[in-house]
Chains A and B, each alone.
Chain A
Amino acid sequence: MKSKIASLFTFWRVVGGLIVISGLYYTYIRFTQGIGAVSNLSDVSPWGLWIGFDILCGVGLAAGGFTICAITHIFNIERFKPLTRPAILTAFLGYVLVVVALLIDLGKPWNIWHAIIMWNPRSVMFEVAWCVMLYTTVLFLEFSPVIVERFNLQKLQSILKKIAVPVMILGVLLSTLHQSSLGSLFLIVPQKMHPLWYTPMLPVYFYMTAIATGFAMVVFESYLSSRAFGKELELPLLSTCGLISVSTLGIYFVIKMTELALSGNISYIFAGDFLANMFLAEMLVGVIIPGAILLSKHRRRNRTYLYTGIIFVITGFLMNRMNVGVTSISVYTGTNYFPAVGEVAITLMIVVFGMMAFKFAVKNFPVFSADH
């Protein structure tokens, strides 16, 4: 039995290793022969998988960081405290990886600092750039007590304690701006995006779905760590997170459908074409199925149901971001972009990096400990 687990473990290590090797290979090509050499990006589809998945999904999956901080340190709901560290850790890692992805996606990444001195406040991308810079710093500050604790630096510890609350408040504000601004990025393309997704409400929807996904991610991380290290958070807490997640999605669903009905675009849902089906799938997987599972208290208190429901929430979220960022535009404008092997390889590599970093941190720092 034991050797079976060990061999399974090695199997995933080999897979991870292969993914990293192929990712590094394509990264090398990207930086020696240009973005066009490894991707299907082109003049007709300037944004693709890297923006849709690595950036939009990456930032959204990191939303657990600010939702949990708000609950534990601003609303002072004590019983959620054990969730704080894992949530902040994933958020921090998420943001670091988003920056890595950005450095690969940007044509001239060494000019990224220009956003600090060359301002264009009319640009949502400018807002996004500042949010990424500031919030990554804030996340580092939020996680630093864990590092400081590990190395027993008393003095730093007391300083960090003093600034903790303002830092948390700043973090929540920055996240609010950042999560919503990723939706605002697409407000400028009303004629390019399918009406099932394009709406002036995009920033609000991005924010709401990010909150829901943030809570789902906390549950998911607990699941991962329970499998890898046997460390897990208590079930009642996790099922409350599940409930908050699907309730938020429920409100989102009602607003979204009402808006579609009012704008008269609701008929597109039943058009039967590819995009209509994508929309239906997104709603089914991301809202309706997890809602059906997790709104029942009985099922929520059952690990298998809880984790299944949560995985639906996360999958639906990924579908939503990919639909907004890529599919709703490329299919609607007829460019029919599909990611190239190189794009997928680099994306997978970044995901593997994220998992490795998470594992390293959980192993070496007091992340899943109850006493803080």
Chain B
Amino acid sequence: MATQYGLLFDVTECVGCGECYTACKVKNGLKEPKEDFLTDHLSQHTYTVLEDHDGNYIRRMCMHCADPACASVCPIAAIVKTPEGPVVYDGDKCMGCRYCMQACPHHIPRYEWHSNTPVIHKCTMCYDRVKNGEQTACAEACPTGATLFGTLDELKTEAKKRIAENPDKYYPEVYGMTEAGGTNVLILSPVSFDQLGLASNLPKTALPQLTQQALDKIPAVVGAGSVFLTGMYWLTKRKNQISKEKNHAEGDLK
């Protein structure tokens, strides 16, 4: 398996300059950059935003889940998890069922609601760059290193190290280690995650497993079902025949 990459976002180091926001707009050729970027929201034109939660800045973007719900639910695999970690999307395949939007636990995919050929939009972890060994545009633009690009293993170690070295500075957990089975975007925060508006009621297991448990039963249902139905058909048919013959026989006696 290829090395997995990811991002580490450290809330305590973010100064709220919005360079990541601008860099992402430029890199992806997205329209409508806002002067007042803190008021922007994720949309078809915006793949990452900064939010101000009482002086703590948090980035919203696709978390690039280890086992992404969005990819697992897409009927035609228009969304896939690449071996390098980024979760990417192919608009030419997409049929627009929007199940990915419904399923994403972090509420990330956005849709073109006013287009006749709508596609999904979300952060791609700059897959074209990552594939070529470069870091993401937002990480490159970040002046303080609050957004850090690296291999997932490195970043996990680094995140834990920072908490261990400065326990007073950090909330004692790394967001993204277990959330819905873990993510490739990790977050360090001085406050609990719900105070940053992050989804904090997620199960520790990957969400696709919930579906898989049901899907796994299909072969058994089909197998047992066809045996049962065929059997019932022969049995009841035979029974009807016998009772008919019996009626005939009784008729003869009379």
Contacts and interface: CB of A to CB of B under 8 A. Distances in A.
A191 B201 contact: yes
A191 B110 contact: no
- Number of chain A interface residues as a range: 35 or more
A14 interface: no
Contacts, number: 169
A341 interface: no
Interface string B79-108: 000000000000001111111011101010
A176 interface: yes
Interface in B122-174: none
Given A42-B113, A127-B218, A188 B69 contact: yes
A111 B78 CA distance: 11
Main secondary structure of the interface of A (DSSP, over half): helix
A112 B102 contact: no
Interface stretch (B27-35, B186-194, B232-240): B232-240
Report which residue of A172, A181, A185, A187 has the largest number of chain B beta carbons within 10 angstroms of its beta carbon.
Answer: A187
B49 to A, nearest CB: 13
A46 B210 CA distance: 21
B240 A109 contact: no
Contact of B211 (A36, A73, A172, A184): A184
A155 interface: no
A284 interface: no
Contact of A120 (B43, B76, B212): B76
A188 B95 contact: no
Contact of A125 (B74, B110, B213): B74
Interface residues of B, number: 58
A121 to B, nearest CB: 8
Contacts of A120: 72, 74-77
A76 B77 contact: no
Interface string B203-220: 100011011111100100
Interface in A107-145: 107-109, 111-112, 114-115, 118-129
- Interface-central residue, B95, B115, B222, B230, by most chain A CB under 10 Å: B95
A8 interface: no
A123 B93 contact: no
B37 interface: no
A35 B119 CA distance: 12
Interface in B46-86: 69, 72-78
Contacts of B210: 187-188, 190, 200
Interface string A27-61: 00001111111000111101100000000000000
A234 interface: no
Given A34-B118, A169-B233, A172-B225, A108 B94 contact: yes
Contact of A191 (B42, B202, B233, B237): B202
A173 B226 contact: yes
A109 B96 contact: yes
Contacts of A32: 116
A105 B99 CA distance: 12
Nearest to B80: A120
Given A36-B114, A37-B114, A177 B222 contact: yes
A74 interface: yes
Contacts of A371: none
A34 B112 contact: yes
A324 B217 CA distance: 22
A47 B233 contact: no
A113 to B, nearest CB: 9
A21 to B, nearest CB: 22
Contacts of A121: 215
Contacts of B226: 169, 173
Contact of A115 (B76, B113, B115): B76
B69 A107 contact: no
Contact of A114 (B43, B93, B215): B93
A203 B221 CA distance: 12
A169 B229 contact: yes
8 contacts: A36-B113, A43-B43, A46-B98, A115-B75, A123-B211, A187-B214, A188-B72, A203-B214
Nearest 10 A/B pairs, CB to CB: A107-B96, A36-B113, A76-B236, A46-B101, A118-B76, A125-B75, A111-B95, A46-B98, A126-B75, A120-B77
